[in-house]
Amino acid sequence: MNSTIEISIVSPVYKAENLVDKLVERIIFSVSKLTDSFEIILVEDGGSDNSWKKIKENCAKYAFVKGIKLSRNYGQQHALQAGLDASKGKYVITMDCDLQDQPEEIYKLVEKAKEGYQIVAASRENRKDDFIKKIASKWFYATLSYLTETDQDNTVANFICYHRKAVEAMKLIGDKNRYYPMLQQLVGFNYVKVPIQHAEREDGKSSYSLRKRLKLAINTILTFSDKPLRLTVKLGVFLSFFSILAAIVLVIMYLLGDFRTNGWASLALLLSFFSGAIISVLGMVGLYVGRIFESVKNRPTYIINEIIN
């Protein structure tokens, strides 16, 4: 290996003991055609299987394979952060470990990056995910695009090639909740998408449950957008206008002698409606205050337990 690293490949590993060997072999086979100066960084994200044992075996076998074991499960985005922080390559490629991102497609990203693009994202053609996952992904990105007022593409995930400039720029962003599809838009730079073929998952099933997806969605929206707060302001204005309009109608009906007492049902409904609206607004504000509370504690976003190579 040369002293200057040309390409770094970063892959978070979580409960993928049956895939680590194949992942490393296919990356080596593909990237060695591009350069002999590369490193593979595998970040074990606190899984309960033997993934770390497999990573250590590959680190012992190949000097250019680096293993990072986090102290607990911090989540995919923070595992990516740990790998990016440890990377040294001029071009850094992030990819999932499930081999749906195919290492054989890496050359497309690198070749495009060498044309002068600092961020090259893989756009997955004919996604091989199940129907529910594809629908959930489509709605998540549509909602995220609306609330963050950015253009989010549901065909783009974590298979991305970053120039070193983009990696260093993203390190400067101090957000505790990391979400790299948003961070890469914040830092700017030349961005392009390259179509790639998406593969079937080779082993097991995705560890992203519906609960984890909802948590990621909420954290991402609260971190990168204040639009929910602005929407609550609009709701408040609408409710005030509606109340004033209703009051005017009631006064006119009273003056025209057409006012009737229809019982307490309408009053109870109005009280329930406005009480729910107030509680919703307070809850929204509380979520943002909670984000501030988490940020001011300044806790590390990940802790490393062990590093090999």
Reported as a single tens digit per residue, the pLDDT across 294-306 is 666 667 778 888 8
* Lookup: tokens for 57: 């075996």
- 79 and 21 in one domain? yes
- Predicted confidence band of residue 66 (pLDDT cuts 50, 70, 90): very high
Residues 90 and 46 in one domain: yes
If asked whether residues 201 and 130 sit together in one domain, one would say: yes
> Residue 222: inside a domain, yes or no?
no
H runs (alpha helix) in the chain: 20-31, 51-61, 76-86, 106-113, 131-148, 164-172, 180-186, 210-224, 227-255, 265-296
Where is 163: in which H helix or E strand?
A: strand 156-163
Q: Is the pLDDT of residue 241 over 60?
A: yes
Which two structure tokens, joined as six digits, stand for 269? 């409904």
CA nearest to 202, candidates 97, 81, 88, 277: 97
Of all residues in the chain, the percent with pLDDT exceeding 70 is 71
Domain that residue 39 falls in: 7-209+300-308
DSSP state of 62: -
| Same structural domain, 26 and 60 | yes
| Average pLDDT of the segment spanning 259-272 | 59
- 41: pLDDT confidence band, cut at 50, 70 and 90? very high
How far is 43 from 300, CA to CA, in rounded Å?
Answer: 16
* Structural domain contains residue 216: no
- Least Cα distance to 57 among 271, 231, 308 occurs for 308
Do 200 and 235 lie in one domain? The reply is no
Q: Answer yes or no: do 304 and 286 share one domain.
A: no
Mean of per-residue pLDDT scores for the chain? 78
What residues are paired with 308 via a beta bridge? Answer: 67
Q: Count how many domains the chain has.
A: 2
Q: Is residue 245 part of a domain?
A: yes
Strand partners, 41: 10, 66
**Residue closest to 74 by CA, chosen among 151, 159, 13:** 13
Residues 166 and 276 in one domain: no
Report which listed range, 167-171, 177-181, 199-203, 206-210, is most confident.
Answer: 167-171
Q: What is the dihedral of CA 133, 78, 91, 18, to 10 degrees?
A: -60
**Residue 119: phi, psi to the nearest 5?**
-135, 120
Cβ pair 293, 69 in contact under 8 A: no
Q: Measured in Å, how far apart are the chain's first and last C-alpha atoms?
A: 14
The Cα 75–Cα 301 span in angstroms is: 10
pLDDT number for residue 1? 41
Residue 180 lies in a domain: yes
How many angstroms separate the CA atoms of 278 and 282, rounded? 6
What is the C-alpha to C-alpha distance for residues 50 and 69, in angstroms, rounded to an integer?
A: 12
Answer yes or no: do 38 and 92 share one domain. yes
Model confidence, pTM: 0.72
